[in-house]
Amino acid sequence: MRVLLVGSGGREHALAWKLTRSPLLTELHAAPGNPGIARLGDCHPVLADDAEAVLALARSLAAELVVVGPEVPLVGGLADVLRTNGVAVFGPGRGAAAIEGSKSFAKAVMRAAGVPTARDLPRPLAPCVLKADGLAAGKGVVVCHTQSEVEAGLSELVDHPGPLVVEELLEGEEVSLFALCDGLDATALPAARDFKRAFDGDAGPNTGGMGSFSPVPGVDSDEVEDLVDRVHRPVLGELARRGMPFVGTLFAGVMLTPSGPRVLEFNCRFGAPETQSLVPVLEGDLLEACAAAAQGSLGARPLPPPKEAAVTVVVTAGRYPADGNHGSEISGVEEAEATGAHVFHAGTALRDGALVTNGGRVLNVTATGSSLAEARAAAYDAVARISFDGARYRTDIAAAASRLGGQLRSDLYT
């Protein structure tokens, strides 16, 4: 099968790696890809957000499947442009992608589908969470414990277009739950967790993600299946009823609270950097599953449970998230890979044949092991071999969960 992968980040590099593991793959192409993906397939200088150019490329390659990584082209309708022109695509159309693109749409769908979520509040009074309606690249949510945080949040969000959602502040453990969807049914993937804050101990500003691990202790296949039953499947039913079947990865950010699971948000695509941890432990053929989903024939096809755990540590520019790093030479990638770890590229470029930095989140270092503790030790062993001017990473990714071991948090599933 000839596959065109749309996107250029660490998530897409991880997906590319997994797609190349499939015996069904004959050619892998990427638009635009990155230097890591270029080692696995052919990269084409076509921007993910340029739907007409992606369609033209898919046609010229005679691509049999297009897999779309990022949310912006999906919310913009790339999948519709491809599908109406007869190109098979793994990714939702504009209507269904609004589950990520509009918080108020997501709330309306959850209400209609009976999916548990945070209660809406009539007024912005602390404690509460303020959410801007549209896509905001992770910057549209302010969690407020005090009224002065509410005031600051209101002025921070004042420039966002559309209505503001005010909801109750939930406490608990957060988990990222992904399911491959064919419009009607869902196949669950292993649970994952990400680390959004810039510094150790969850301090500092929110970022695009500083690390992740998968699976999550206590959220094993049975719990994941139960959560997909309560969250993803009702949403799929409701979207199909509205005439906008969801084909692609439906990603629910769920808070496991003492009174049961509550959905915090939906995304219409694979998460980053969760995918970098999820894909290396995923058993089964991802390409076969995505192609079946695109044809509407995936169904609920339970994948074998993961045999290993994975931990991903993101290496960033020194001043990230305020600023990126461009043009500094990167060393140690081969040494890191020689330990058996994956090094998934995010913000890198090639300059005169040398690998250099090109962004805020530069590399994702992922290692697997028979336990989270083993995977974590291997990831940090590999990451220590990588250097560039100002390189920085969190030192506590998966630390607490590794200590938990496989202990079941059954109290969180009441």
Interacting residues with ligand GLY (CB under 6 A): 194, 209, 267, 271-272, 274
174 binds, among ligand AMP, ligand GLY, none (CB under 5 to 8 A by kind): ligand AMP
Place of tokens 């500094």: 328
Task: For the CB of residue 85, give the shortest distance to ligand GLY in the complex, in Å.
Answer: 28
Report the residue closest to ligand AMP, judged by CB: 265
Count of beta carbons in the 10 Å neighbourhood of residue 155: 8
Instruction: Name the residue among 359, 300, 307, 366 with its Cα closest to residue 330.
Output: 359
300 binds, among ligand GLY, ligand AMP, none (CB under 5 to 8 A by kind): none
129 binds, among ligand GLY, ligand AMP, none (CB under 5 to 8 A by kind): ligand AMP
Task: For the CB of residue 209, give the shortest distance to ligand GLY in the complex, in Å.
Answer: 5
Task: Say which DSSP state 392 is in.
Answer: B
Task: For the CB of residue 394, give the shortest distance to ligand AMP in the complex, in Å.
Answer: 16
Contact 246, 181 (CB under 8 A): yes
Radius of gyration of the chain (CA): 20
Is 136 or 354 the residue whose CB approaches ligand AMP more closely? 136
Q: Which long-range contacts (CB under 8 A, 24 or more apart) does 111-117 make?
A: 112/238, 113/234, 113/235, 113/237, 113/238, 114/234, 115/230, 115/231, 115/234, 115/235, 115/263, 116/230, 116/231, 116/260, 116/261, 116/262, 116/263, 117/167, 117/262, 117/263, 117/264
Task: For the CB of residue 319, give the shortest distance to ligand AMP in the complex, in Å.
Answer: 22
194 binds, among ligand AMP, ligand GLY, none (CB under 5 to 8 A by kind): ligand GLY
Is 8 or 22 the residue whose CB approaches ligand GLY more closely? 8
Contact 45, 24 (CB under 8 A): no
Task: For the CB of residue 15, give the shortest distance to ligand GLY in the complex, in Å.
Answer: 13
Is 216 or 356 the residue whose CB approaches ligand GLY more closely? 216
The residues binding ligand AMP (CB under 6 A) are 118, 129, 131, 141, 143, 167, 169-170, 174, 253, 264-265
290 binds, among ligand GLY, ligand AMP, none (CB under 5 to 8 A by kind): none
Q: Categorise residue 364: left if φ over 0, alpha if ψ from -120 to 50, beta otherwise.
A: beta
Task: For the CB of residue 118, give the shortest distance to ligand AMP in the complex, in Å.
Answer: 4
Count of beta carbons in the 10 Å neighbourhood of residue 124: 17
